[in-house]
Amino acid sequence: MKMLINGKWIDTEKKIEVANPYDNAVIDYVPRAEQSHVDMAIDSASHYDFSLSSWNRYEILHNFSELLKEKKDEFSNLISLESGKSLKESSIEVERASQTFLISGEEAKRLNGEVLNCDAVRGMPNRHALVLREPVGIVLAITPFNYPLNLVAHKVGPAIASNNPIILKPSSLTPLTALKMAELLINLGIPKRMLHVLTGNSSEIGDYLVANPSFKKISFTGSVPVGKSICQKAGMKRVSMELGSNDPLIVLNDADIKKAVNCATVGAFGNNGQRCTSIKRIIIENSVADQFIEAFINRTKGLKVGDQMVLTTDIGPLITEKAAKEVENQVESALNNGAVCLLGGKREGTLFWPTILDHVTSDNPIVIEEVFGPIAPIIRVEDFEEAITVANSTNYGLQAGIFTNRLDKAMEAAKRLQVGGVIINDGPGFRAEHLPFGGLKDSGLGREGVKYAINEMTQLKTVVL
């Protein structure tokens, strides 16, 4: 496939290989962009005339949402092929992306300002202020491999809704889904200067992109070190950072254990454990830990590991063998620091079997660092107070889940947990496309969720009559 600049499909002599993580078979090749291609995209975006009406933007986004439904199988297959995600989960991702684009279209018609009466201040009669919301300018979106459609949708949809030109740099590991998305948007009539997709290595064009003063907004999803580097190099730009996490699931002794186990299985091992909101720490009161663990092991044993393109597969390959080896090293380090492996711990190439670790302490590296794999470390605590203390003893703060049947404990946890979102009687992986989403501490800056992303992609102008 080729990359998109100014409505044209551009190729290069140098290529990037896109491979199936399961068997490393080549799926396709994409162009390896250079700085000159960045300049071409910026030049085109700089001449976008902002003439697309709210209705036109709604229509394009609504129609694309419907088109995703029609092409659900095609996109699901492509997502699974390049990311290693199971077909079942890829199908869910397409459904979610369709919702993201639909909500973006609806929000395009709601870009309202407000009218303020100046006579609220003494000596200011006969004046009215119009507070208008305008596009901020060229948006740079940098997206990761693990959700190659819906995380792209959460940047492209709000940018189009708010009438901003956008230059998208998808992960070089999973660029095909983004390119297919762009192809369909072009066919639906999106202006050629509005959307550009650059495929390339971040090591070659990343710094050149983020430091360019033409960008007015950077929206990045990825690792903490890269996010901090972008913030240092970006200069006077708006930035949104969706970064790492080690999200906890807290299980209190009055919890519905069956529901908690079901949640833990999906939350720790879904998407092969490769998502920022995966359950990366299970913090459980010791009095119910053995009961929980027995059921958790039995449920996990039923998961099928293998080729992600087989419909019955639950857990496919990690994105690269390097990534799988890193998870293997993290598990080995955890065991060396006192953890006990109750299940899994096995790796074959890019496949890593779902792994349950018990007797993990809060200072074990596996719960301090972010692990991007199907690993479920269990931390036993004596009571609610210790659970909250352990949950907060981290540099991250994206989301947290808590299982309890006591409303007072649930609301106290919601108040005291140092995270951007608290999910009661469900896992930290819960996300609805219209809700604000983002973290505290090293987990990020700003908020996504369609309306909230639009707010960060627009600027206010005051007009006084």
Catalytic residue among 82, 242, 285, 448: 242
The closest of 265, 272, 256, 261 to 406, measured between CA atoms, is 256
- Separation of alpha carbons 426 and 154, rounded Å: 23
Element spanning 293, H or E: helix 286-301
Q: What are 80's two structure tokens?
A: 């699974």
82, 93, 276, 285: the catalytic one is 276
β-partners of residue 424 are 402
Pairing of strands 3-5, 8-10: antiparallel
Burial of residue 155 (CB within 10 Å: 0-12, 13-18, 19+) is buried
Q: What would the DSSP string read from start to end of 184-204?
A: HHHHTT--TTTEEE----HHH
Tokens of 345: 């711990």
Write out the two tokens for 443: 């987990």
231 is known as an active-site residue: no
Residues in contact with 300: Cβ distance below 8 Å, sequence separation at least 6, in sequence order: 265, 269, 343, 344, 354, 356, 376
Supply 47's token pair.
């001449």
8 Å CB contact between 162 and 132: no
- At residue 211's C-alpha, the angle toward residues 205 and 215, to 5°, is 100
DSSP label of 286: H
Q: Which residues of 334-346 are buried (b: 16+ CB within 10 A; e: fewer)?
A: bbeeebeebbbbe
Q: Is 242 a catalytic residue?
A: yes
Which positions are catalytic? 242, 276
